[in-house]
Chain A
Amino acid sequence: MGVIPVIELRLPAGREALRSLKAGDEVLLSGDVLTMRDAALKRLEELLAEGGEPPFGLEGQVVFHAGPTPPAAGRPAGAIGPTTSARMDRFLEMLFERGVAATLGKGPRSAEAAAHHRAYGAVYLAAVGGLSALYGGMVDEIEPLAWEDLGPEGVFRVRLNGFPALVAVDAEGADHLEGRHSRYRRR
């Protein structure tokens, strides 16, 4: 893995810029992403169903499935990191319809999710769960954007600085993690 060159990405970057990424590529993310997890996605779904519009744009954005801790140790989040993305697969098509270019999270996605990535040409970037004290040092700024009543589940603009991730599902729908599991499977 160490010999694979790391691709540095400036965010936000639209789908076209991410289309050349291949499942298994290692990336370093810098720039702005939006946090959205369970509660914010549910609220977005309800809002859109009523014909409303969210108070932030999603076109070309990377949605980070995360809920940070409060500021600590002189940094914007003491700890921040990805939460399980598969839990939010039911909201994926809604995000892609609004122009979201990628999600950033952790863990495997469903087969249905892979199909959505292929259909919309979007990618899924996976980080490792539970490295959040380290990841907290790779965030320059956190600004609440909307729905602050949701607490850590609100929408935050997070400015990343060299945040490492893996392309787990690419724009063709190829799933990297699935292949990795079969490679080490001994049953």
Chain B
Amino acid sequence: MRVIEAADLADRIEELCLEVSTALPADVTDALSRFRAREESESGRRVIDLILENARAATELGVPLCQDTGFFTVYLTLAPGDAISGDLEGEAAGAVARATERGRLRPSVVRDPVGARVNTGNNTPPLVEMELSRAQESTLGVMAKGGGSEMASRLAMLAPGAGWGGALEFIVGMVEELGARACPPLVLGVGMGGSFDSVTRLAKKALMRPLDEQTADPAVRAREEELVSEVNRLGIGPGGHGGTVTCFGARITEAPCHMAILPVALSVSCHALRRKTVPI
């Protein structure tokens, strides 16, 4: 058995936080460029050009892609035979605080949510998600998610009879209602199945999956394609200024669930899908 010391992950978490804040991943810029060709609105194409130009400027200047530098989630996935030792939450919080200082990130986290909402000043605490996996190697991932897109995310507990049609209707309806506020073009992370608590994690973690990675199950792949195509009929467009590209990717993760329920969760990402996963 390999024991990973949490303290040994701190520097890598800090570097990942800094990298995702200033550099848009290649799979995201590639997908944006690909969808630009499908945009019928001239102003929509111009917005996509500006998004790509913004990404180049952020990386070149070393400034954040967006003033909303987001709420950080740290994902640790342990492969069989690996274990973690030490205070991962504490190490992750320290890493986020140092990245906030070094990267000149905006402190965007408040405590006492329905009370004084005092800013913690350094984006702590991050959310730490640890899970076991049967994958070959353990991984460490970081996501920075903005408040605007998180506000457009939703959960529905559907009846099993609703099926994919009902799930699709729910998701497209939510994007129609809230998508223009969430900095489109969007990437949609969807969870289906599982339970009330796990389906939202599935949806958000689906956003970690690269947009250029082909979904293994052909039925799920077809659903992802149908979702993108249906959302792009809404007309919201890049920047919400009207157009045929409201969404440039969907990632769906499914899980077994109780026979009485069909949980469906939508985790919306703005065009600045900021995340990276590395093997450890």
Contacts of A68 in B (CB 8 A): 67, 106
Q: Assuming the A-B contacts A81-B66, A131-B50, A177-B240, are A187 and B58 also in contact, with contact meaning beta carbons closer than 8 angstroms in the complex? A: no
Q: Assuming the A-B contacts A83-B68, A130-B54, A151-B121, are A69 and B105 also in contact, with contact meaning beta carbons closer than 8 angstroms in the complex? A: yes
**Which of B1-9, B40-48, B90-98, B219-227 is the interface stretch?**
B40-48
**Which of A51-59, A70-78, A90-98 is the interface stretch?**
A70-78
- B34 interface hit (Cβ, 8 Å): no
- Give bound CA distance, A151 to B123, whole Å: 12
B58–A79 contact, CB under 8 A? yes
Task: Report the minimum CB–CB distance from B180 to chain A (whole Å).
Answer: 5
Contacts of A136 in B (CB 8 A): 63
- A137 interface hit (Cβ, 8 Å): yes
Q: Assuming the A-B contacts A69-B67, A151-B119, are A185 and B183 also in contact, with contact meaning beta carbons closer than 8 angstroms in the complex? A: no
**In the complex, per-residue mask of A34-77: 1 if CB is within 8 Å of any chain B CB, else 0:** 00000100000000000000000000000000111111110001
A181–B68 contact, CB under 8 A? no
Contacts of A177 in B (CB 8 A): 180, 240-242
A130–B271 contact, CB under 8 A? yes
Contacts of A13 in B (CB 8 A): none
A128–B181 contact, CB under 8 A? no
Q: Contact partner of A134 among B50, B108, B237, CB < 8 A?
A: B50
> Which of B46, B64, B65, B108 has the most chain A CB within a 10 Å cutoff?
B64
- Give bound CA distance, A15 to B143, whole Å: 42
- A107 interface hit (Cβ, 8 Å): yes
- B160 interface hit (Cβ, 8 Å): no
B65–A130 contact, CB under 8 A? yes
Number of A-B contacts (CB under 8 A): 164
> Which of A2, A39, A81, A132 has the most chain B CB within a 10 Å cutoff?
A132
Residue ranges of B at the interface with A (Cβ–Cβ < 8 Å): 40-44, 46-47, 50-51, 53-55, 57-58, 61-69, 104-108, 117, 119, 121, 146-148, 151, 180-183, 233-244, 270-272
Can you list 25 A-B contacts with CB-CB less than 8 angstroms, sorted by A residue number? A39-B117, A67-B67, A69-B104, A79-B58, A83-B68, A86-B181, A87-B181, A108-B240, A128-B241, A129-B66, A129-B148, A130-B66, A130-B270, A133-B54, A133-B65, A134-B57, A152-B106, A152-B119, A179-B242, A180-B41, A180-B242, A181-B237, A183-B235, A184-B242, A186-B244
Besides the contacts A128-B239, A151-B121, A181-B235, what 17 more A-B pairs have beta carbons closer than 8 Å? A67-B67, A68-B106, A69-B67, A72-B62, A73-B61, A79-B65, A81-B66, A81-B67, A86-B181, A106-B181, A106-B183, A107-B240, A134-B57, A150-B119, A152-B67, A184-B237, A185-B235
